[in-house]
Amino acid sequence: MSKASRHTTAPQRQNTPTPAGKSKLILFRFVLVLTPVFFFLLLELLLRLFHYGSDADLFQPWEWKGKRYMRINAGVADRYFARKGFSPYVSRDAFLVEKPAHTVRIFCLGESTTAGYPYFFNGSFSSLLRDRLADLLPDENVEVVNVGITAVNSYAVADLAREIMPCAPDLIIAYVGHNEFYGAMGVASTEFGSASRLAVRAFLALRPLRTVQLMRSLVTTIGSWMGGEERFQMGKTLMEQVVGDKYIQYRSPEYELARKEFQRNLTDMVETAQRNQVPIMLCTLASNLRDQYPFVSMFADDTSPEVQEQWNQIFHRGAECQDSGEVSTALQMYSRALQLDSNRADLHFRIARGLEFQGRMRESLHEYTKAKDLDGLRFRASEDFNKVIRHVGVERHVPVVEMGEVFAKASPDGIPGASLFWEHVHPQFAGYNLMAKELCSSIAEGGILGPTTEWQWNRRRTDSAYADLAPNTPFDAEVARLSIELLKSHWPFRDPPLHVEYHPKNLLQETAWDRVQSKIGWAAAHSRLGDAYAQNREWHAAQQEYFAIAKAFPYDPQFFDKAGELLVVQRKFGEAAEVFRRSLRIHDSQFTRARLAEILLQMKDPDAAATNLETALQLDVASTEKFPSKQRVRAITLLANAYLMLNRLGDAERKLQDLLAIAPNAPETKALQVVMVKRRGRKL
């Protein structure tokens, strides 16, 4: 055998798997891929089993007085805010699951202004709008549901709009846009701020998963461990906590991204409404121009340090001249500064003040607006965002309420300021009343809820009458004032923050301070004051406190009844009767009907009194909560008296027989016997 043949290698064996081996390999890869899926499925099931997290649905079913309602979920904001102890205000408005006939149902969407800050409840434009519509559409049951949530932006508003559609809305009103940068999911927010629309939409879609909630909570906790705890500490205002990247240059990439996302979200919301054939109304945004100095002024990115130094010298010389009354010289200095850098918000604000001093109001308004637009801390929407609102309105054929113009027309010299605003964007009570008035007019003019000719305009009250009807009590006004004082004691109004000391001098101030510190609920605070006023025989003040609660929680009749009783004490029988009728529309109670009948007898209306007493006695038979014996005797006696006033002697006789059967020795029975003897002219 040759040497070569001895070293010839044998053919290599092929590693071709058998059919059985192929199956095992496929199974292995399949299991490998599905293992994480099974893990997360198991984790999701375990988290739900142990009740971790929440659904955070917008509405939750709720039963009250035998009626089924949907009520706004107090935890709905959890879907947008991950941090514990961070609880933006959410209204607890409720509406019936089955929409009754002749019901107008309106939903108001937006941020803190929609929520009604710093009044909330009866101070919001939604509540004030309800009062106006109820007057003008008396044949309709008017529901205006406030879905405003503080510290959110248009991502959240568009998200919430989708959940409103199955609730049979007749109209949606949206006032949104001031929080586009720092509100939850804004480009500069601490709450899932992202430059990716796809990421935000995916998060919103996956948010109900408990696994996602757990992961988000872990990320937030780890972030605080790694140095973020200072930003998230308790005691800071919502404004401080939601701001991530503080300063954003006008027309910068971040600015343009926020503007584009706002337009997309607004369009999504309108398209959602139109797909469901629900009318929607948009509003432009109003803000304080005259009396809100820009928070942050920024040089243009290409302004060199040398030019900045020169600009500062000219600007400060101009400010000194203006402060000493040399306005014309100051404006000349400001003109030189503009040539160096026109990007500074404080420069335009100073120019606006100078022009206003000279009586050049149109030019002044233009400069105030420019100062707001250039403000590097974007807590006020620029005019670009109002242009977006108008553009979406025209493009999608939906009405736009020019709320900015409304505030301008109602302001001195046409420049919105402290006469209508608390600070930068939140209206005073007069401002909210103004918004409600304009919305009511726009709804009527647009024919959204029916032809304007069918509205009962003769029932319209004055603006001051609607303010009284709210009611915005002295307690609410004090809470609002304190809330704003605390807000303005912190960044960005003050840095470092100012410690606010408050020494209450009476029960109202003490209760307001407790409310601001969240030591007492809003309704409990009003009830505390109402009880104290009633004890001191301050009937009107007590009635207003009870009526405030009744207005805010119109599904609970007890505070309507309390307010009605105080009106009776003041001998305002007509007003009392109307309040008791409102109570009966909520819950048909034999107790309330008997009280109403007693008032109607005082008003010399025995026919209506008899009808209510007959119904009250029928309700008592079917009710599990019966009249006490004395109250039943009184109800029967009142009914007999009503029959006597109507000259229905036979019916009165039958009621007397009922009394003789159940309480023959009662003083009411004996008194009625005497009356009947006189009326019959014979002894019984």
Reported as a single tens digit per residue, the pLDDT across 484-527 is 999 999 999 998 888 888 999 999 999 999 999 999 999 999 99
Q: pLDDT per residue over 92-120, tens digit each?
A: 899 999 999 999 999 999 999 999 999 99
Per-residue pLDDT, averaged over 454-479, amounts to: 94
pLDDT of residue 223: 57
Per-residue pLDDT, averaged over 382-411, amounts to: 98
pLDDT of residue 297: 97
pLDDT of residue 228: 47
| Token pair belonging to 457 | 């305009």
CATH class of residue range 305-374: mainly alpha
| Contact status, residue 143 vs residue 131, Cβ threshold 8 Å | no
Q: Which amino acid is at 13?
A: R
In Å, how far are 14, 137, 147, 181 from 467, measured between CA atoms? Answer: 92, 19, 22, 34
Q: Is-same-fold flag (104-289+381-469; 305-374)? A: no
Q: pLDDT per residue over 141-187, tens digit each?
A: 999 999 999 999 999 999 999 999 999 999 999 999 999 999 888 88
Sign of the C-alpha dihedral computed for residues 475, 480, 483 and 484 taken in this order: negative
Strand order of the β-sheet with 67-72 is 59-64, 67-72, 94-96
Per-residue pLDDT, averaged over 370-380, amounts to: 97
**Mean pLDDT for the chain overall:** 89
pLDDT of residue 234: 42
- pLDDT at residue 193 tops 60: no
Tell me the pLDDT band of 89, cut-offs 50, 70 and 90: confident
pLDDT of residue 379: 95
Q: Does domain 104-289+381-469 have CATH number 3.40.50.1110?
A: yes
- With CA atoms as reference, report the closest residue to 549 among 537, 561, 535: 561
pLDDT of residue 35: 74
Residue 263 backbone phi and psi in degrees, to 5: -65, -40
Question: Could you check whether the bond before residue 451 is cis, i.e. omega within 30 degrees of 0?
Answer: no
The pTM score is 0.87
In Å, how far are 98, 140, 178, 647 from 101, measured between CA atoms? Answer: 9, 8, 37, 38
- pLDDT at residue 303 tops 90: yes
Q: pLDDT per residue over 545-578, tens digit each?
A: 999 999 999 888 999 999 999 999 999 999 999 9
Tell me the pLDDT band of 684, cut-offs 50, 70 and 90: very low
pLDDT of residue 37: 67
Can you tell me the distance from the alpha carbon of 323 to that of 332, in angstroms, rounded to the nearest whole number?
14
| Contact status, residue 594 vs residue 624, Cβ threshold 8 Å | no
pLDDT of residue 56: 81
Domain ranges of the chain: 104-289+381-469, 305-374, 474-680
Q: pLDDT per residue over 136-151, tens digit each?
A: 999 999 999 999 999 9
Q: Which CATH number fits domain 474-680: 1.10.3720.10, 1.25.40.10, 3.40.50.740, 3.90.1720.10?
A: 1.25.40.10
pLDDT of residue 219: 64
Q: Where are the alpha helices (DSSP H) in 137-236?
A: 154-164, 197-206, 210-223
Per-residue pLDDT, averaged over 55-75, amounts to: 90
pLDDT of residue 78: 83
| Token pair belonging to 205 | 């879609």
